[in-house]
């Protein structure tokens, strides 16, 4: 399905980012607490719904899913929520926000429709399959002056927030290199993930997006000067992604500061455990590292390395899975509108496009 397109400069004419930042903190909701609709309540959608419900800052008002089984499971935890059949039903229901957890090919179109209707959006990643789609969504959010959030959830882990604070304080000096990996011993269980027209890409779009986002976010989104990559499928170099998605990828991102970022990600890798997730940032006075524990997808430690010494800074547990969604709902309840930092979503998407050679 083709996503709606909005020219990237459409909303630039009358306000600047300082005005938008001021506006984003101005109460503008018609309901208190805000009423939310959930478009897609599979495992991730239901998890985010429950995380928001636990905060008490918003009302879970409506649920939509093509699976009656998924609807039943979601409704069990929010029995007062109304069931609906489509995005149209949500947009006609006087909602303040919509949480989107549908297949990737639908994200941009659905987000743009909601934003144009004056409804705030929190969307699963990727926000769009290409940078063009992402630019369209961000432009729609800017034009509508509505809060836009994307579930780049690893930013919300306690370990990454601690490491960002230390890195920006100069704890290890200026970063000259970073190395990030996300290897998954399994692959997605839905066929559309393996169709590049529907998914936008393979393991890079699914997992590598987190690595690119984390690295640039940690470094305060420096200018990207160059991107090189190698993509593989079934152990063979992938010359074209037009008809096949990659299951292993490496990329190097060169920054204007002279620093380099190396990322690697995969599906179905013989990793010896469920997952290998690691993000290490190297400075002149040491290194800061996040790594998963025992192959876990959820448990992480934060470390500081100096020479041969390793210091543990933070350990599990940390219930971070739905934190990004809950924080978006909290900001929405406070009346926040368009946030100029949404432009960062475009930067990440542009790097992904360059990794894919498009």
Domain made up of 17-151+322-340: CATH architecture:
3-Layer(aba) Sandwich (3.40)
Query: Is residue 10 scored above 90 in pLDDT?
Result: no
Enumerate the CATH 3.30.360.10 domain ranges in the chain, comma separated. 154-314
Size of the chain in residues: 358
The string over 323-334, giving b where at least 16 C-beta atoms fall within 10 Å of a residue's C-beta and e elsewhere, is bbbbbbbebbbe
- The arithmetic mean of pLDDT across residues 230-234, rounded, is 97
What pLDDT score does 31 carry? 63
H or E, element range at 312: strand 309-314
Share of the chain above pLDDT 90, in %: 90
Arithmetic mean of pLDDT over the chain = 92
294: left (phi over 0), alpha (psi -120 to 50) or beta: left
Concatenated DSSP letters of 20-33 = HHHHTTS---SSSS
Rounded to whole angstroms, the Cα distance separating 261 from 269 reads 22
Query: 48 is written with which tokens?
Result: 């985010």
What pLDDT score does 165 carry? 98
Q: What is the pTM of this model?
A: 0.90
Tokens 């009656």 locate to 68
Query: 103 is written with which tokens?
Result: 């297949």
What pLDDT score does 240 carry? 80
**Looking at domain 154-314, what is its CATH homologous superfamily?**
Dihydrodipicolinate Reductase; domain 2 (3.30.360.10)
Query: Is residue 22 scored above 50 in pLDDT?
Result: no
Enumerate the CATH 3.40.50.720 domain ranges in the chain, comma separated. 17-151+322-340
What pLDDT score does 243 carry? 87
Query: Is residue 21 scored above 60 in pLDDT?
Result: no
- The arithmetic mean of pLDDT across residues 23-40, rounded, is 71
Confidence band of 108 (pLDDT split at 50, 70, 90): very high
């Amino acid at each position: 399905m083709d996503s709606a397109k909005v020219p990237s400069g459409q909303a630039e004419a009358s306000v600047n980012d300082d005005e938008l930042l001021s506006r984003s903190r101005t109460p503008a909701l018609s309901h208190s607490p805000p009423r939310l609709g959930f478009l897609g309540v599979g495992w991730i959608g239901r998890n985010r719904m429950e995380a928001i419900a636990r905060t008490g800052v918003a009302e879970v008002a409506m649920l939509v899913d093509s699976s009656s089984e998924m609807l039943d499971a979601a409704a069990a935890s929010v029995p007062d929520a109304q069931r609906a059949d489509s995005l149209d039903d949500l947009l006609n229901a006087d909602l303040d926000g919509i949480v989107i957890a549908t297949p990737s090919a639908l994200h941009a179109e659905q987000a743009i429709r909601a934003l144009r209707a004056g409804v705030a959006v929190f969307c699963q990643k990727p926000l769009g399959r290409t940078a063009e789609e992402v630019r369209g969504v961000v432009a729609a959010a800017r034009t509508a002056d509505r809060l836009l959030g994307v579930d780049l959830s690893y930013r919300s882990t306690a370990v990454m927030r601690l490491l960002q604070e230390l890195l920006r304080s100069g704890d290890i000096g200026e970063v000259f290199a970073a190395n990030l990996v996300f290897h998954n011993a399994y692959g997605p269980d839905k066929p559309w993930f393996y169709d590049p027209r529907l998914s936008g890409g393979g393991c890079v779009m699914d997992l590598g997006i987190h690595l690119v986002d984390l690295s640039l976010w940690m470094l305060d989104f420096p200018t990207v000067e160059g991107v090189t990559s190698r993509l593989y499928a079934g152990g063979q170099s992938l010359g074209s992604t037009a008809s096949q998605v990659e299951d292993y990828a490496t990329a190097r991102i060169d920054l204007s500061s002279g620093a380099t970022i190396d990322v690697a990600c995969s599906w179905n890798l013989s990793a010896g455990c469920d997952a290998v997730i690691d993000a290490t940032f190297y400075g002149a006075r040491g290194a800061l590292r996040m790594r998963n524990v025992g192959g876990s997808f959820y448990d992480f430690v934060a470390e500081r390395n100096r020479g041969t010494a390793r210091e543990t800074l933070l350990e599990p547990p940390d219930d971070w899975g739905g934190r990004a969604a809950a924080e978006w709902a909290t900001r929405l309840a406070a009346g926040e509108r368009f946030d100029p930092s949404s432009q960062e979503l475009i930067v990440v998407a542009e790097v992904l496009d360059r990794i894919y050679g498009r």
